[in-house]
Amino acid sequence: MDRKEDARKKIQLGGLFVKAGLDHMHPRDAYVLYGMLLDCKRAMQIKPEVTKRWAQLGKELLVGQTEESR
């Protein structure tokens, strides 16, 4: 992956934190977000079906936000 693609990917992922309302956290608290993500990763490994539930929830919310902005 080149630098431009990498930067775009990171910006998009950061945008998801903003949409989720997690952007209020200070960068010095990054360990909280990192721990949360690692816990989610573990949950996905233990119960793969949780990924489908999260995907459905995320899709519903993102589609709802898109429709609200029209």
Residue 64: what pLDDT? 81
Q: How crowded is residue 44: how many other Cβ atoms within 10 Å of its Cβ?
A: 13
pTM given for the model: 0.69
> How much is the CA Rg of the chain, to the nearest whole Å?
14
Q: What is the pLDDT of residues 7-46, one digit of tens each?
A: 999 999 999 989 989 989 888 888 999 999 999 999 999 9
Helices 30-46 and 49-68, axial angle in degrees (round to 10): 130
**DSSP three-state, residue 22:** coil
